[in-house]
């Protein structure tokens, strides 16, 4: 049997603020994110299995990624817990859907966090191969399993 990789794309809108940054991204601003999730595995070979020929049903991958990432981060403002407590409370009052992270919410740190969240939910026999997170049309961060073993 062959190892096959399959990829699904997701899109969401998110604002963030970079704590103590020395440029304009220290202010609240937003992006239209695109997330490409690639998983790897052997397609189901049991002819009695309704998932015959699939590594993972795309609808199952969608449920995982939406539950862990899209539903949580879409139309949110993401701030680091390193922000002053009063500032975080202001964000929560002003924006409602505020996500407080244990890290600076850069594209690089977000993709690493997303890899942990998605990887822990995949079914047996399916492995997270890579993620590519576009923050803008021309800028992205990538995470590869082989680089993080």
Contacts 24+ apart (CB under 8 A), 25-28: 28/77, 28/91
Look up 25 and say whether it is catalytic: yes
Pairing of the two strands 4-16 and 29-41 = antiparallel
CA quadruple 125, 133, 9, 91: dihedral sign = positive
Look up 75 and say whether it is catalytic: yes
Q: 16, 68, 129, 135: which is the annotated catalytic residue?
A: 135
Q: 29, 75, 89, 142: which is the annotated catalytic residue?
A: 75
Look up 142 and say whether it is catalytic: no
Q: 25, 42, 89, 142: which is the annotated catalytic residue?
A: 25
Q: How many CB atoms lie within 10 A of CB 79?
A: 24
CA 22 to chain centroid, in Å, comes to: 25
> Which amino acids are annotated catalytic?
25, 75, 135
């Amino acid at each position: 049997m062959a190892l096959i990789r399959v990829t699904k794309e997701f899109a969401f809108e998110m604002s963030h603020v970079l704590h103590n940054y020395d440029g304009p991204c220290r202010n609240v601003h937003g992006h239209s994110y695109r997330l490409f999730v690639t998983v790897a595995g052997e397609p189901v070979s049991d002819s009695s299995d309704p998932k015959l020929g699939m590594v993972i049903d795309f609808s199952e991958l969608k449920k995982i990624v939406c539950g862990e990432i899209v539903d949580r981060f879409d139309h949110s403002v993401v701030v680091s817990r390193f922000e002053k407590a009063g500032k975080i409370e202001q964000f929560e009052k002003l924006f409602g859907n505020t996500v407080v992270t244990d890290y600076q919410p850069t594209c690089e740190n977000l993709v690493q966090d997303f890899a942990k969240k998605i990887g822990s939910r995949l079914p047996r026999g399916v492995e997270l191969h890579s993620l590519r997170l576009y923050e803008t049309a021309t800028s992205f961060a990538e995470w590869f399993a082989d680089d993080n073993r």
